[in-house]
Structures are given as C-alpha cells and as structure tokens.
C-alpha cells in the first residue's frame, strides 16, 4: 500500500511544495509516504460512492464534496496530511478554515476509503482511527473483496453492510443513502 520514503519532507508546507512527479503522497506523523496508484476496481468504486455523495450534497446545499487526492491536514507537530478516496465537509465547518491553505486544516465530516488489494486491513483501521480521532463523524470503508461497506461512527462501533443492505449517513450528511448493490454492481 504505502512505502516510506527517505526524504527531508516532514511538514504540510513542504509536502505542498513538492514538484509534481506523477506519484501520490501522504504525510503521516511527519513521515512522507508514497502511495501506489489506485487500481481500476478501486477507482470505479470510489467514483460511484463519490458521485452519489456529490449529488446528495449539491441537491441539498450541504457543503462541499471532495474527490480523491484532496489533502486534509488532520494534525500538526508532527504534521499528518491524509487524502481519502472521497469526502464531505459541511458549509458550517468550512467557515472555520482558510481555503487558501494548500490543505484543509480539519477532518472531513464524512470520509470514504476504498480498500485496495494490497492494503493491510490493520493499516486501514489505523487510518479510520486517525480520521475519527481528528473529528470525522463517519468513515465509510468499501471493501471490494467481500463486497461490504463498513460504517465507523465511533472507534468501537462498526456496522457492516452487505449486498441487499442500504447505508444511511444519518445526521452526518442529511440522511445520504446508498445501496450496497450500487457500489459493487
């Protein structure tokens, strides 16, 4: 999934100043990590979920939805900048941040992560914990391998949805709903 790089990059500002080299990076506790490109299944699922989220957010004028590769600075000293596969931030919370910064300095209300074939699930759960600890209300993890959506609202509260089930974001995003079948069809 992610490999450590031997570089001098340790802050969000340095990460933002990296020249484009075609690679994807995250900064985790001041350590730069290069991420492999998403595979076709990963990209398809991320887009399906993100498109549904965007449509709901726009139709209800709730805030902004973000695509993969959008960086969120979720901690400082040492800096952590994560990039979910999709995200939502309410207008109310956006008022508290400076959009001119390279990365939004908050955790999204909703984070979407899609598990890649080479992901270690313990790493995925660590990422979920980081999002929740930083203030995300809900983390949705799509796992193509077993065709499940895992819904994390708290670290100890996990809802597992399967084909035939329907996800409901509840108050985190004005009852945004998504059928599991539509994600993995």
What's the rounded mean pLDDT across residues 27-39? 89
Rounded CA-CA distance 133/120 in Å is 20
Report residue 94 as tokens.
Answer: 């956006």
How does pLDDT run across 145-179, given as a tens digit for each residue? Answer: 999 999 999 777 899 999 999 999 999 999 999 99
How does pLDDT run across 95-137, given as a tens digit for each residue? Answer: 999 878 889 999 999 999 999 988 888 999 999 999 999 999 9
The structural domains of the chain, with segments of one domain joined by +, span: 38-184
Task: Please state which architecture CATH assigns to domain 38-184.
Answer: Alpha-Beta Complex (3.90)
Q: Give the distance, in angstroms, between the CA of residue 163 and the centroid of all CA atoms in the same chain.
A: 22
Question: What pLDDT score was predicted for residue 7?
Answer: 63
pLDDT reading at 63 higher than 60: yes
Rounded CA-CA distance 33/52 in Å is 29
Rounded CA-CA distance 79/77 in Å is 5
| HSE value, Cβ hemisphere, 13 Å, CA-based, for 179 | 5
Rounded CA-CA distance 128/151 in Å is 10
- The DSSP bridge pattern shows strands 110-114 and 138-143 to be parallel
């Amino acid at each position: 999934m992610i490999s450590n790089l031997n570089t001098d990059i340790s802050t969000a500002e340095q990460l933002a100043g990296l020249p484009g080299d075609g690679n994807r990076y995250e900064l985790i506790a001041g350590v730069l990590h290069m991420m492999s490109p998403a595979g076709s299944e990963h990209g398809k699922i991320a887009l399906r979920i993100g498109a549904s989220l965007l449509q709901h957010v726009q139709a209800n004028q709730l805030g902004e939805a973000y695509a993969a590769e959008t960086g969120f600075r979720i901690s400082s000293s040492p800096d952590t900048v994560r990039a979910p596969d999709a995200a939502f931030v309410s207008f109310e919370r956006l008022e508290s941040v400076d959009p001119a910064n390279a990365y939004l300095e908050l955790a999204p209300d909703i984070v979407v992560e899609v598990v890649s074939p080479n992901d270690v699930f313990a790493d995925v759960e660590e990422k979920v914990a980081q999002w929740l600890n930083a203030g995300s209300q809900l983390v949705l993890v799509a796992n193509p391998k077993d065709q499940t959506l895992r819904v994390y609202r708290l670290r100890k509260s996990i809802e597992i949805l399967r084909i035939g089930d329907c996800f409901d974001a509840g108050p985190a995003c004005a009852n945004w709903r998504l059928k599991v079948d539509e994600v993995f069809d």
